[in-house]
Structure 1
Amino acid sequence: MPTGVAIRDPREQLFDAAERILLRDGPNALTSRAVTTEAGCAKGVLHRHFDDFDAFLTGLVLDRIGRIEQQSAALRASAGTGTVTANLTDALSAVFESVAVAIVSLVTFRDELRTRLRQVRPPGVPVLTEATAMLATYLTAERDLGRITPDADVETLALTLIGSGHLLFADRKDTPPAPAATHRVVTTVIGSVLREPADQ
């Protein structure tokens, strides 16, 4: 293992390595040695940037939450364009084809990580809570534009979409569901509030 080798943007390199391990091998395989080996750097690099491994994992989860927040801005900007069904299908796929499902498993697996996250973010399941807020914000915008009914309960719709999406994508390590399956879930959940024909 190389030592003393400078790496570019080490925090992001370590986060990306941890994400690959999570997606490939699950939370049980995630150790500081596994992360630094995957990143191709000395073990000391991780400990130069984080107080301990749980601090690293907290940083990883918060970094991935930040990505959801960026996606939220893009989804909100898409209101009024395309179709509501297609926009939601793409958003759900983007969330769950990423590391979201594995992050939920990781947080469930590590008590200390849950404790630290409670100190720095709102209650709820990390990533899924932010994804639910993202969909609720988007649906509110579409309701304001008249593309869904004015009495649509956007919070419940968002929760239902995220819960259904999580079940659809969970335990599908090698073969994510076909886009048509995600589309079918979205159509079923929001069909009664749409004011436009659902796309086929």
Structure 2
Amino acid sequence: MPTGVALRDVREQLFAAAERVLLRDGPNALTSRALTTEAGCAKGVLHRHFADFDAFLAEFVLDRVQRMDAQAEALRTAAGTGEVADNLTRALTALFGSVAVAIVALITFRDELRDRLRQTWPAGVPMLTEAVSMIADYLTAERERGRLAPDADIDTLAPTLIGAGHLLFADRKSAPPDPAAVRKMVATVLGEAPEGLTR
């Protein structure tokens, strides 16, 4: 790697390489050597910009969580349009069709990474807690528009949708679920709301 490359470019190159390794080979395969080989840079580059490998991984996870802001905004914008179950199906498919499932597995796999994340993210798994918040905001907006029952329990529905969605996508050996399976799960969970969907 040429000298003088801006830090941001190095970070993005390493983050993109980590994502490729995770998606292709899974969390067990993401080592510092695999990362730098995938990024096409010397190991010293990683250690010049991050205190250690777990510091890198923590920043990678938080960067990918921050990228969920665009998904959250798109889902909020969809409130009041189309079918609620369709909007949620698209959002969950985009979320779990990305690197999210692999990141959750990575956090589960590495005790040191969990400890490092606790310094800035005191509770829960960052990717999942942010996803629950995204879904809860959307469901609240739909309830305010009368498209969910007035007494729909958002605090139960949002984590249930994320948990069920994660389980649908978590099997790395099989093909991802088709949209019909995701929509069926969403409709089933929403049907558990008091009085169900109004529209």
Normalising by structure 1, we get a TM-score of 0.91
RMSD: 1.5
Determine the structure 2 residue equivalent to 1:30.
30
SS at match of 1:61: helix
CA distance in 2: counterparts of 1:76 and 1:125, whole angstroms: 22
| CA distance in 2 between partners of 1:34 and 1:135 (Å) | 34
Q: How far apart are the structure 1 equivalents of 2:83 and 2:62?
A: 31
Residue 197 (structure 2) aligns with: 194
Mark the CA change 1:6 to 1:174 in structure 2 (over 3 Å): closer, same or farther: farther
Structure 1 CA distance for aligned equivalents of residues 106 and 29 of structure 2:
10
Distance 2:86 2:180 in 1: 11
- Distance in structure 1 (CA, Å) of the matches to 2:14 and 2:34: 10
Q: Which amino acid letter does the alignment assign opposite residue 50 of structure 1?
A: F
**Amino acid in the other structure paired with 1:49:** H
Query: Percent identity of the aligned residues?
Result: 68
Q: Which residue number corresponds to residue 113 of structure 2? A: 113
After the TM superposition, which residues 36-55 of structure 1 pair with which residues of structure 2 at under 5 Å, given as runs?
36-55=36-55
SS at match of 1:162: helix
- Whether the 8 Å CA contact 1:5–1:41 is kept in 2: the answer is no
Q: What per-residue deviation string (whole Å, max 9, x for no partner) do you get for residues 94-134 of structure 1? A: 11111111111111111111011111014012201110111
Structure 1: state its 5+ residue gaps: none
What is the aligned partner in structure 1 of residue 16 from structure 2? 16
Distance in 2 (CA, whole Å) between partners of 1:149 and 1:106 is 37
Moved over 6 A (4+): none
> 5 Å matches for 1:1-200?
3-4=1-2, 9-173=9-173, 175-191=175-191, 192=193, 193-196=196-199
Q: Describe the SS at the equivalent of 1:151.
A: coil
TM-score normalized with structure 2 length: 0.92
How far 1:173 sits from its partner (Å)?
4.5
Report how many residues are paired. 194
One-letter code aligned to 2:144: D
CA distance in 2, matches of 1:32, 1:172: 22
Q: Which moved more, 1:69-78 or 1:17-26?
A: 69-78
Q: Gaps spanning 5+ residues in structure 2: where?
A: none
Instruction: Check 1:94–1:31 CA distance in 2 against 1; reply closer, same or farther (3 A cut).
Output: same
Structure 1: how far apart are the matches of 2:59 and 2:147? 38
